[in-house]
Amino acid sequence: MKFLFRIKFLTVLFFWIAPLAHADFYFHPWMNHSQNPGPVKLNLQGLYLSTSSNFSATGSVDTPTTLGSYSQFRTAISGAKNIGSGLTAYARGTWSVLQVSTIGSGTTFSGSTFGLADQSIGLAYKLIKFEKGGGIDLQAQFDFPGYNNSQLLTRNQPFLGDGSTDISVGGFAQIPVQKVERSSWAVHLGAGYTNRTDGFSAAIPYSVFIQNNRLDPGLIAQAGVYGIQSLGTDTAGTKSLAGTGGSMMSNAVNPSVMNGSITLGYQVNTNLLINGQYTLGLMGKNAPKINIIGAGITYTFGTPKDAQQVLDHETPKISTDAIVMKSNDRLNVLKINQGSDDGIKPGMIYDIYAIDLNGKVTEVIAVARVTNVKSSEAALEVTNYIREVIIDEGFIARRRIGGG
């Protein structure tokens, strides 16, 4: 019943805001925002985009005769939080400085513009979590402009975007490909459907990335492609490119594009991740050929002290180990082989430890609380995921002294 309610909720959300609904196609790919239970995750990003050419209707690279250069520096701050029952709420706010130089004295706009760019809010739902890692997620996202192109037009200033509002719905699959003691690799696939206002064509956003995550400080990497495929439903026929000096960054008709992107980063500690990225336009039609360089910081608030103790090679005070007998990561529950005969009571707190291929105990990956007790077993609810790692059978559960 709960699952059917959530599906109905996402469906109603789509049809309620679809008539209102600007996907930020070029700066931000269609990416999964689903989070495991735990503290708020905040990301601060700076991106510099430049372009001086477009992909034509036939896919060739053309340089507009009116365009000298187009550049935009964008800052984005985003946050995500698992709000329970598999749902994650997220939002992204953006602000940009835009500079356009033109050739000649035609009708195209040159100069600079600054202000709010395209903003985003959304919900993600964890539909399936695979037993050996990965899973399937659903997502709905609403994008709207923080600027007004009509006002910019009256001032002969360059446009910050199309000015449309959009709704995107779709899904993601995460497929593990390699798991070692302290890191794992997975393929992330995403696709959706975007409905746009102001006569702009509907489109299919997509992303394909391979990514690794770590359990401890060290290098991380991500590489892949993302873009949009227009469905060719643009009703305007032709639109003026004067607002961007001839670049198709705004007012492109039926744009389709594929960009390649690579990200390298460093997991500083449990709370902090820093990274840099490079993105290049690979192919497209009726779309700008872009270059993006950027850097970002991701900070997770409220990380339990026990996680830092592990990273500092400290040993937390524990009692006798228990073994995870069964687990269901989608429902955030697990069962251990200790019960009332072992002195276990509801409310006691356990730290869940991963084990490597040699059976050696490694890091704390989650915190769980006892909810139900039988004579020789107990059920626990995961209250916080310290690491995004699937809890497997055979993992170790250690009760905290004074934890209940």
CATH code of 358's domain: 2.40.10.340
Q: Residue 106: its pLDDT value, please?
A: 57
Final residue before a domain boundary, out of 300, 332, 362:
300
pTM for the model stands at 0.70
**135 and 258 inside one domain:** yes
Report the CATH number at residue 91: 2.40.160.40
Q: How many domains does the chain have?
A: 2
- Distances in whole angstroms, Cα of residue 59 to Cα of each of 162, 202, 277: 21, 20, 25
Shared domain for 185 and 323, answered yes or no, is: no
Domain end point (choices 266, 300, 334): 300
Do 182 and 202 lie in a common domain? yes
Least confidently predicted of 9-18, 64-73, 260-269, 358-367:
9-18
Among residues 275, 300, 325, the one where a domain terminates is: 300
Mean of the pLDDT values across residues 312-332? 71
Structural domain range at position 220? 2-300
Q: What is the pLDDT of residue 10?
A: 44
Give the mean pLDDT of 47-75: 92
Do 85 and 214 lie in a common domain? yes
Residues 141 and 174 reside in one and the same domain? yes
Do 274 and 341 lie in one domain? The reply is: no
**pLDDT surpassing 50 at residue 156:** yes
pLDDT at 166: 92
Residues 330 and 247 in one domain: no
Q: Which residue has the higher pLDDT, 263 or 313?
A: 263
Query: Same domain for 206 and 231?
Result: yes
Residues 245 and 336 in one domain: no
Other CB atoms within a 10 A radius of the CB of residue 178 amount to 10
Same domain, 373 and 276: no
What pLDDT digit, counting tens, does each position of 116-143 carry? 999 999 999 999 988 777 899 999 999 9
| Same domain (yes/no): 240, 212 | yes
Residues 323, 220, single domain; the answer is: no
